[in-house]
Amino acid sequence: MEAIILAGGLGTRLHGVIGAQPKCMAPVNGQPFLAYLFEYLERNKCTRAILSLGYKHKIVINWLEEQDTYFEIDCAIESEPLGTGGGILAAIEDAATDDVLILNGDTMFNVNIPEMFKFHRANNATTTLALKHMTDFDRYGVVNTNDKGVITSFEEKKQTAEGTINGGVYIINREKFLAKNLPEKFSFEKDYLEKFVNEKGFYGYKDSAYFIDIGIPQDYDKAQEDFKTLFA
């Protein structure tokens, strides 16, 4: 299994807490957030990880040089910001497998990856999104699906009483993704997911597992406590 980790984020909203370093390197209980993503991938028998890097990538690379990982690690480095889609595109071109797992470098969603792959392949999906049911939120948009799991629409961020959100874990069919002839720079959410949703090739895999996005200080602080149990 190959995985791409989108690890080039600036972490602007966390600068007051973690300083000017990539968001994936935000320390959680003495370890970079990225270390926990590595542990998650190791638990799921990942064989290769490709890191999509940009902002202050040398900090990440210096840390990687000191790590002894279960899986092979390669890096795709952006010379300029390419957007979330461009970061995936640059890395997935170097992938060797048909279906590639994608993780956000600032999100932990403890999805059952083997089951998600089964779901993805059973539906011959172009792309599968891991969806998380949430209540009373305004940080995320809602992802709507039909009774077969086909994603039918995306809703903008707003105060929402209840709904399923995009949990930042994807499985992408490499060949189908590259066939879209996407530009070098683009937004994965706006210029791929929302643009091609009507083709009915996107599926939502719902999982009730632990989820956290450390993009804001409150949730970054919450991760400090949660990970003591999650990664005990």
Asked if residue 11 has pLDDT above 70, the reply is: no
How far apart, in whole angstroms, are the C-alpha atoms of residue 208 and residue 190? 25
Query: Strand pairing partners for 6?
Result: 52, 104
Asked if residue 15 has pLDDT above 80, the reply is: no
Range(s) of the domain holding residue 15:
2-131+168-230
Is 146 inside a domain boundary?
no
Give the residue-averaged pLDDT of 16-29.
85
Is 99 inside a domain boundary?
yes
Q: What is the pLDDT of residues 171-228, one digit of tens each?
A: 999 999 999 999 999 999 999 999 999 999 999 999 999 999 998 999 999 999 999 9
Is 209 inside a domain boundary?
yes
Is 43 inside a domain boundary?
yes
Is 39 inside a domain boundary?
yes
Q: What is the CATH number for 6?
A: 3.90.550.10
How far apart, in whole angstroms, are the C-alpha atoms of residue 215 and residue 14? 7
Q: What is the pLDDT of residues 65-119, one digit of tens each?
A: 999 888 999 999 988 889 999 999 999 999 999 999 999 999 999 999 999 999 9
Residue 105 CB coordination number (10 Å): 27
Alpha-carbon distances, residue 23 vs 54, 180, 215 (angstroms): 11, 29, 8
Alpha-carbon distances, residue 109 vs 56, 100, 196, 213 (angstroms): 25, 16, 25, 8
Query: Which pLDDT value is given to residue 73?
Result: 96
Is 137 inside a domain boundary?
no
Give the pTM: 0.94
CA 4 from chain center: how many Å?
Answer: 8
Is 105 inside a domain boundary?
yes
Instruction: Report how many domains make up the chain.
Output: 1
Alpha-carbon distances, residue 8 vs 59, 197, 227, 228 (angstroms): 11, 26, 22, 26
Query: Which pLDDT value is given to residue 81?
Result: 84
Q: What is the pLDDT of residues 124-177, one digit of tens each?
A: 999 999 999 999 999 999 999 999 999 999 999 999 999 999 999 999 999 999
Angle in degrees, CA 47, 49, 52, rounded to 5: 170
Is 151 inside a domain boundary?
no
Query: Which pLDDT value is given to residue 10?
Result: 67
For the chain, the average pLDDT equals 94
